[in-house]
Amino acid sequence: MLLIHCPYCNETLPELEYAYAGEAHIARPANPSEVSDEEWAEFLFMRSNVKGIHYERWRHLHGCGRFFNAVRDTVSDKFLTTYEAGAPRPDLDTLVNTPAEGGK
Amino acid sequence: MTHFSAFSLLKNALTGHKNWTEQWPDAQPKAEYDVIIVGAGGHGLGAAYYLATQHGITNIAVIDKGWLGGGNTGRNTTIIRSNYLYDESARLFDHSVDLWQNLSQELNYNVMYSNRGVLMLAHNVHDVQSFKRHVHSNRLNGVDNRWLSTEECKEYCPPLNISKSSRYPVMGGALQERAGTARHDAVAWGYARGAAARGVDVIQNCAVQAIRRNDDGSVAGVDTDKGFIKAKKVAVSASGHNSMVMATAGVRLPLESMPLQALVSEPVKPVFPCVVMSNAVHAYCSQSDKGELVIGSGTDQYVSYGQRGGLPLIEHTVSAISEVFPIFNRMRMLRKWAGITDNTPDRSPIIGKTPVPNLYVNCGWGTGGFKATPGSAHVFAWTIAKDEPHPINAPFTLDRFRTGRLIDEAAAAAVAH
């Protein structure tokens, strides 16, 4: 069972409270009518599917209901950190060397 | 290669089983091949077998980072069926079921294909309507499937609880009698033996680190743990790791890799005559020839390459099984495991060419690849040999995610494949 830290509720809770919401930092095109089919395919379907450090979205479905981002190792399934949606990607070097809060 | 027969069995029994020869050699890589297949699972080994037997290409290496058939081929619940809704899927999976019928004879290797029937239970009005639609659609496509009443379901599968007061009442079921199970390891072994006998090198414990490309963009070969191997064509069939392997060639795929778990009970005497699937409660179950109940669970919701899976899913699965089959609710489970499945957004596979010349991919089988092993391997071999898709896999392109011509079995099946 994963334990996941919600950055809004500031609590670390079982994964059953959460819904996974796919890869993070994929921005919807600003001008949809000008986007080519290739770019739509890239936005909608193509995923990096990383083996290793993965940036991803979660939703605290049975809690505050809000989306947030997480950095997780997809081999060990350990969370390195979680952070609020809209915040920039955290710096990986610092994360790997100093496990942050919620990195259980 | 020793030909297996009643005579060879008798002969070796009389000499104490000391003279069996190895079934395929543990090959070391040569400097160059016509075709390199990445991934020695059923799909990859089968493709090598069909390339050798049907297309006259034998200078092939099948390379795997682990042992042969140690990935999803050895980790699934061995269910074989073809009752898919859409025309494209029905053709693909029924092609496979056709090939399963005589696979043991063709390979001279007992894959223990058993068409014991797959019964899909309907628990509510929506299930009834949806499954009847599947039955009609299948029959129009010439795919075996028929509707059973509640009582007929009980007759076909006696351990079933059809009490009206049960939490998930059985309102009928769709039965595909041609469907069933097979011995998963034997499929990989049989194809490996058949391919090796025709000159294919099966190279185990040799990870492919990267696909190397020529200046003109076409495929040059693969970098492996044992050095660079040149190849005219490279075909990737690496299940959960397809995204990682293809990324080294600069090809991005619409895949997410997730653990899919399964578990088996302690072995008991034969009690369970068929395969039963219940999409609504998400339980599927059969009994192996060893006597274990083989139970399939669901995928974790998140991307993961850890071949473990989360316990909440096992808990959910076991509670569903206990509800549908109360006679099993005191059975002890022996072990559970997970395989990493590569899932496409429409839950249909991608079999075909890629933007890179001479690079082919067979991926996105998600949670339902085992049943398709012979058919997938057969059309993939065709695609590699002729550099164009077989009519059966022509709709299953990577390009469909650009054109929008999805084959949305995710919406059609809603759950486990």
Q: Which CATH number covers residue B36?
A: 3.50.50.60
A20 touches B: beta carbon within 8 Å: yes
* Whole-number Å distance between alpha carbons of B138 and B393: 18
Domain match, B337 and B264 both:
yes
Residue type, B243: S
* Whole-number Å distance between alpha carbons of B231 and B240: 23
Specify whether the CB–CB gap between A12 and A3 falls below 8 A.
Answer: yes
CA–CA distances in Å: residue B144 to residues B68, B136, B173, B379:
33, 10, 14, 22
Model pLDDT for residues B262-291, shown as the tens digit of each residue: 999 999 999 999 999 998 888 899 999 999
The per-residue pLDDT for A103 is 46
DSSP secondary structure letters along B244-301: HHHHTTT---S-EEEEEEEEEE---SS---SEEEETTTTEEEEE-TTSPEEEEEEE-S
* Whole-number Å distance between alpha carbons of B375 and B99: 7
The per-residue pLDDT for B282 is 84
CB-based contact B241 A51, cutoff 8 Å? yes
| Contacts with A13 from chain B: Cβ below 8 Å | none
CB-based contact B252 A54, cutoff 8 Å? no
The residues near A32 (Cβ < 8 Å, ≥ 6 apart) are none
**For residue B286, what are the domain limits?**
118-180+257-343
The per-residue pLDDT for A94 is 79
- ipTM of this complex prediction, to 2 decimal places: 0.91
* pLDDT one digit per residue (tens) for chain A, 104 residues: 899 999 999 999 999 999 999 999 999 999 999 999 999 999 999 999 999 999 999 999 999 999 999 999 999 999 999 999 999 999 888 777 765 555 44
Model pLDDT for residues B350-395, shown as the tens digit of each residue: 999 999 999 999 999 999 999 999 999 999 999 999 999 999 999 9
Interface residue of B258, B341, B402 to substitute, partner A, most A CBs within 10 Å: B402
Domain match, B303 and B387 both:
no
Interface residue of A16, A17, A51 to substitute, partner B, most B CBs within 10 Å: A51
A35 touches B: beta carbon within 8 Å: no
Domain match, B265 and B338 both:
yes
B302 vs A20, A47, A75: nearest CB: A20
Query: B5 lies in a domain?
Result: no
Secondary structure (3-state) at B134: helix
Measure the N-to-C terminal CA separation of chain B; round to a whole number of Å: 36
- Name which of B208, B247, B254, B251 is nearest B231 in CA terms: B208
* Whole-number Å distance between alpha carbons of B377 and B255: 20
Specify whether the CB–CB gap between B86 and B409 falls below 8 A.
Answer: yes
CB-based contact B252 A42, cutoff 8 Å? yes
Domain match, B100 and B219 both:
yes
A45 vs B310, B312, B345: nearest CB: B345
A46 touches B: beta carbon within 8 Å: yes
CATH 2.40.30.10 applies to domain A3-26+37-97:
no
The per-residue pLDDT for A104 is 46
CB-based contact B254 A38, cutoff 8 Å? no
The residues near B67 (Cβ < 8 Å, ≥ 6 apart) are B204, B205
* Whole-number Å distance between alpha carbons of B199 and B81: 32
Name residues of chain B where pLDDT drops below 50.
414
